[in-house]
Amino acid sequence: MAARLKTRIALSTATSLALIALSAQPGAAAEGSWWPFPVYDASSGTPTEAEYTPLGKAEKAHNICVLFPHMKDSFWVAVAYGIVTQAKAANVNMNLYEAGGYENLPKQISQFDDCMASGADAIIVGAISGAGLSQKFAEAKEKNIPVVGVTNPLPKDALPAANYVDFVAMGGVTAKGLLAAIGDEEANVVTFPGPAGSGWAEDFNTGFKETVASHDNVEILDEKFGDSGVAVQLKLIQDALQTYPNMNVIWGTAPTAEAAVGAVQLAGRPDIKIISSYENQAMLDSLNRGEILAFATQYPVAEGAMAIDQAVRLVEGKDVMKLAQPKADVIDATTAKDLNMELVLAPADWNPEYSVTAE
């Protein structure tokens, strides 16, 4: 963000170089540095601090079918990187399918049917809608096909295993980052949480609003929900710029922040601060250039890897963490250098693999 803050947010040369190096690392040595991974074990309903370490190779080459909402951005590419890396480590077969967007629930339902019909031993799903897939979850249970939820939230006890961040807490993390940056300055915020009905968008928004609620210098002017595509978010931002001339903070999805960087420049509003509720490669690049204030991470690479391990454990009847929740962190100019970026983004030179064949 080319924003004028009371204390301008800028990366030091050393931090910039560290971020560039981390974002470009190949994944050859990744596995060894990933584990154990700190999580909250929320299996009992009460999150407790724990560590996650996957099994070694699976007992046999199980067939695992993976469903994503889309592969439009580097966030889901990061989840895919974790899926592929751990599938190879476990020596299982994996096929990944994406629905093309959050508006395509019928396609994801059809893909779920295809997974069951293809003889999958387990299904991993980044659900477009947990409620919308509830019937398919029940059908898979009847067929003794274990299903693991990854990244996106699900209704309580919907599946035998899942991993996703506490989205309310993650929204709160970004709010704390904003509060620390503005001090006593007034913040007039429009939030752009993401697609309505996704569950995660609403929870992100709730966490952000609850955290700033007690601060009189922060006002939420409006909430604008919409698909997490840059084009949709750009239109919402342009509308907000016209409707709320006193808006000086844009908070929302990573595509929101992507769109906002150019939109505020064109509008001649370098005073507007931009903060993202989650991560992708564009967020890292924008932070590196000083275009955004911060972004949050739920460590999507780790989520993908844990999902494969959870699936293998379920198929083999082994102990499994029913709900593993990564600990959300905020990444800004001061914290970026201390985080394991291998678990945040796929290597810059990695191309998505939609299929893994066991050796």
Residues 18 and 46 occupy one common structural domain:
no
Domain that holds residue 242: 13-22+167-297
Hey, which bits of 193-322 come out as E strands?
218-223, 249-252, 273-276, 294-297
Domain-located, residue 198 = yes
Burial of 329-339, coded b for 16+ CB within 10 Å and e otherwise, reads: bbbbbeebbeb
How many CB atoms lie under 10 A from the CB of residue 234?
18
Per-residue pLDDT band at 279 (split at 50, 70, 90): very high
Q: Give the model confidence (pLDDT) of 87-124 as tens digits.
A: 999 999 999 999 999 999 999 999 999 999 999 999 99
pLDDT tens per residue across span 13-45: 333 333 333 343 434 345 568 999 999 999 999
Report the half-sphere exposure of 25 (CA within 13 A, side-chain side). 17
| DSSP character at residue 171 | H
Q: What tokens appear for 31 in the block? A: 């596995």
The verdict on 153 and 87 lying in the same domain is yes
Residue 171 CA to residue 147 CA, distance in Å, equals 27
CATH code of the domain covering residue 205 = 3.40.50.2300
In tens, the pLDDT along 316-351 reads: 999 999 999 999 999 998 888 888 889 999 999 999
Task: Dihedral sign for Cα 104, 109, 114, 116, please.
Answer: positive
Residues 303 and 262 in one domain: no
Residue 184, pLDDT above cutoff 80: yes
Residue pair 181/293 in contact by the 8 Å Cβ criterion: yes
Same domain, 123 and 183: no
For the chain, the domain total comes to: 2
Q: Check whether residue 130 and residue 144 sit in a common domain.
A: yes
Query: Is 317 within the bounds of a domain?
Result: yes
**Domain shared by 153 and 251, yes or no:** no
pLDDT of residue 81: 98
In a domain, 358, yes or no: no
The residues that bridge with 9 in the sheet, in sequence order, are none
Give domain status of residue 351, yes or no: no
In a domain, 336, yes or no: no
The answer to whether residue 30 sits within a structural domain is no
Is 337 domain-assigned?
Answer: no
Same domain, 180 and 199: yes
Same domain, 41 and 115: yes
Query: What is the 8-class DSSP label of residue 350?
Result: P
In a domain, 234, yes or no: yes
Q: If we measure between CA atoms, which residue out of 73, 18, 80, 102 comes closest to residue 282?
A: 73
Same domain, 108 and 253: no
Same domain, 17 and 47: no
Q: Which amino acid is at 239?
A: D
- Whether residue 310 sits in one domain with residue 246: no
Overall average pLDDT of the 281-294 stretch: 94
The answer, yes or no, to whether residue 146 has pLDDT greater than 70, is yes
206 & 318 share domain: no
